């Protein structure tokens, strides 16, 4: 993130004035630093008084309604306060857009690291520590699934009615929309796309208990403690909603590397990988902390492959029309193929 990218979007003087109104410490903002880590949102860490803050606001041209996303994120983080879900603590939120041109919020800094960026020496040198890292990411999903969303004041956050019934048609429609991009080879290049969709419709679970969903739960969206294999926080809550929490476990299974540490693209995301548990072990660990019925968990994993593969294929379609880099399109198309092959393996096709 360049210096210019945030200075145009975060007026420090206006931010200071707003913090004064909220009585959030006093004095100038010091040591203002842009944080990176895969998110397109603006993240700024700074000091004021004796406290450290992290600001999060949408970019200039967000993919979705950036202000609404910030409001939802802040609302969920606030609702999780006091729960056993590892998350960044919410300090204060500004739902209005007149201060910085978009809604934003302030949260506590997370003292942790992202495993996909690199492992510290303690974790890189201890296979048992890496095993605990895997168990902890399953624990985080289970903890989120235990949250009573009604008691937490989130009953109107999403539409859990017929949530599972909507999924396949929703993403089939997304795939169909890519035909507007001239030059895209079409869904025929994706192995088993119709077979997977048919299987999902025919094997959909009959019901579920609604709960809070993170929406993009995988290794890159959690941070680990420096002194142990435990989660420091689950981050990047852009897709959070109310639905079936097993969606998060399925997403974790779909994106979890194989025994050699290779994901759907064949690349190794975390090194060293030995010691990390298998996807099956993650499911078993989740079951220890959840009362949910996991008998159809493969369905959720297949749905995650289906959904994520279609999302990634969108960039390939745009690249075919010259609206995205070809190298990126090729790479993500390879990921789509890998995800659908993984799905076909689960359904025994």
End-to-end Cα distance, the chain: 43
**Secondary structure E strands in the chain:** 30-34, 42-48, 51-57, 90-94, 104-107, 211-213, 222-224, 231-234, 241-243
* Token pair belonging to 35: 């944080």
Its pTM surpasses 0.85? yes
The long-range contacts involving 28-36, CB below 8 angstroms and separated by at least 24 positions, are 34/1, 34/3, 34/5, 34/6, 35/1, 36/1
Could you tell me which of 228, 41, 219 has the C-alpha nearest to residue 117? 219
Handedness of CA 160, 177, 217, 193 (dihedral sign): positive
Measured torsion, CA atoms of residues 93, 95, 97, 98, in degrees rounded to the nearest 10? -70
Q: Are 347 and 191 in contact (CB under 8 A)?
A: no
pLDDT number for residue 3: 41
* Token pair belonging to 268: 């190794």
Could you tell me which of 290, 315, 278, 138 has the C-alpha nearest to residue 218? 138
Q: Are 264 and 256 in contact (CB under 8 A)?
A: no
Q: Are 6 and 12 in contact (CB under 8 A)?
A: no
* Token pair belonging to 233: 């926080």
Give the number of other CB atoms < 10 A from CB of residue 290. 20
List the pLDDT tens digit at each of the 349 positions of the chain: 344 478 888 999 999 999 999 999 999 999 999 987 655 789 999 999 999 999 999 987 666 688 999 999 999 999 999 999 999 999 999 999 999 999 999 999 999 999 999 999 999 999 999 999 999 999 999 999 999 999 999 999 999 999 999 999 999 999 999 999 999 999 999 999 999 999 999 999 999 999 999 999 999 999 999 999 999 999 999 999 999 999 999 999 999 998 888 876 556 579 999 999 999 999 999 999 999 999 999 999 999 999 999 999 999 999 999 999 999 999 999 999 999 999 999 998 6
* Token pair belonging to 126: 């201890």
pLDDT number for residue 268: 58
How far is Cα of residue 296 from the mean position of the Cα atoms in its chain? Answer: 22
List of domains in the chain = 3-107 (3.30.200.20), 121-347 (3.90.1200.10)
Map residue 19 onto helix, strand or coil. helix
pLDDT number for residue 71: 96
The long-range contacts involving 68-72, CB below 8 angstroms and separated by at least 24 positions, are 68/103, 69/238, 70/95, 70/102, 70/103, 70/104, 70/105, 71/95, 71/103, 72/157, 72/237, 72/240, 72/241
pLDDT number for residue 8: 83
Q: Are 274 and 240 in contact (CB under 8 A)?
A: no
Query: Residue 219 has what DSSP assignment?
Result: G
pLDDT number for residue 4: 42
- Cα separation, 51 vs 47, in Å, equals 6
């Amino acid at each position: 993130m360049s210096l210019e990218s945030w200075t145009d979007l975060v007026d420090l003087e206006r931010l200071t004035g707003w913090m004064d109104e909220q009585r959030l410490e006093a004095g100038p903002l010091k040591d203002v630093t842009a944080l990176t880590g895969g998110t397109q949102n603006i993240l700024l860490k700074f000091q004021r008084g004796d406290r450290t803050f992290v600001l999060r606001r949408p970019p200039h041209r967000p993919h979705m309604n950036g202000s609404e996303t910030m409001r939802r994120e802040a609302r969920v983080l606030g609702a999780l306060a006091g729960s056993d879900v590892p998350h960044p603590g919410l300090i204060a939120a500004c739902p209005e857009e007149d201060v910085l041109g978009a809604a934003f919020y302030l949260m506590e800094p997370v003292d942790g690291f992202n495993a996909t960026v690199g492992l510290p020496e303690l974790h890189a040198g201890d296979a048992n520590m890496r095993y605990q890292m895997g168990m902890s990411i399953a624990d985080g999903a289970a903890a989120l699934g235990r949250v009573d969303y009604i008691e937490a004041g989130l009953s109107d956050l999403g539409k859990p009615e017929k949530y599972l019934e909507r999924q396949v048609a929703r993403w089939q429609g997304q795939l169909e929309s890519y035909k507007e991009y001239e030059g895209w080879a079409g869904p025929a290049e994706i192995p088993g796309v119709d077979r997977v969709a048919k299987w999902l419709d025919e094997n959909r679970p009959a019901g579920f208990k609604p709960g809070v969903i993170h929406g993009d739960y995988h290794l890159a969206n959690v941070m680990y403690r420096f002194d142990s294999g435990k989660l420091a926080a689950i981050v990047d809550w852009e897709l959070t909603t109310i639905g079936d929490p097993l969606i998060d476990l399925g997403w974790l299974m779909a994106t979890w590397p194989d025994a050699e540490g290779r994901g759907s693209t064949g690349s190794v995301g975390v090194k060293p990988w030995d010691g990390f548990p298998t996807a099956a072990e993650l499911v078993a660990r989740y079951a220890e902390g959840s009362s949910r019925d996991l008998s159809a968990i493969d369905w959720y994993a297949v749905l995650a492959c289906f959904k994520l593969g279609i999302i990634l294929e969108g960039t390939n379609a745009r690249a075919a029309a010259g609206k995205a880099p070809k190298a990126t399109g090729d790479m993500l198309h390879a990921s789509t193929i890998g995800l659908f092959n993984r799905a076909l393996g689960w359904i025994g096709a």
